[in-house]
Amino acid sequence: MAAAHASIEEAKRGAERARTDLRRVQDEANAARAEVAAAHARIAALEKAAADRDAAERARQALSEQVADVQALNERLATDLEALASRETHLKHVNRSLKDEVRKLSRANSASSMPPVSPSPSTNGVGLAATAMPPGAGARRMSVASTASGSIPLDLDNPGVKPVNVLYLKSVIMSFLEKKAMRPQLVPVLHALLECSDDELRRLQAIG
């Protein structure tokens, strides 16, 4: 969960950098538009004041080329502005996703610390069934959740272990895997859920 918090902070810093870059590009775009207007004004002044038509034409041509260059720069800045806005939106989405996962992990940790509740027998035969090992063989009571719930087995002798909803976990992992850009954000979530070792964490990072 600490890794997820660190990812949230990094996402926040990335969003702040994106906003700073966005303001800078906007300022540059405004300056470029002002320069275009000034260039047009200079063209008009030169055409009006120049006595030599050829000299005026050469000056007008040079200024027209300058205007074209500035307009091209303005277009590039507009493209950069759009890319930065898209990046900021993506970072906000990632930040929200990470916050949701942290909240879910927090709820899971809180629930795992609660005393276990003995399951009541199911009336339709589908539910929790307890089995016991023979005496003297280190028997442990195990409970298997109904297949309809999509959960994995629960060790009843360990009150700190709770069932994990496989269908929900699969949905979360698939949603991250479907978007390649979000795969790196899946690493801290899996690391927290699966309690991966350092070697396993490196393998996850290589896959992402």
User: What rounded mean pLDDT belongs to the chain?
Assistant: 70
Reported as a pLDDT band with limits 50, 70 and 90, residue 48 is: confident
Q: According to the model, what pLDDT value does residue 60 have?
A: 82
Range among 5-19, 63-77, 103-117 rated most confident: 63-77
Q: According to the model, what pLDDT value does residue 180 have?
A: 74
Global pTM value: 0.29
Six-digit token pair at 118?
Answer: 């003995």
Q: According to the model, what pLDDT value does residue 74 have?
A: 86
> What Rg value do the Cα atoms of the chain yield, rounded?
31
Q: According to the model, what pLDDT value does residue 162 have?
A: 47
Q: According to the model, what pLDDT value does residue 123 have?
A: 37
Q: According to the model, what pLDDT value does residue 164 have?
A: 52
Look up tokens 């690493």; give the residue: 187
| pLDDT tens per residue, range 136-179 | 333 333 333 333 334 444 444 444 444 556 677 777 777 777 77
DSSP letters, 139-169, are ---EEE--GGGTB--EETT-TT----BHHHH
What is the residue extent of each domain of the chain?
1-98
Look up tokens 């034409």; give the residue: 57
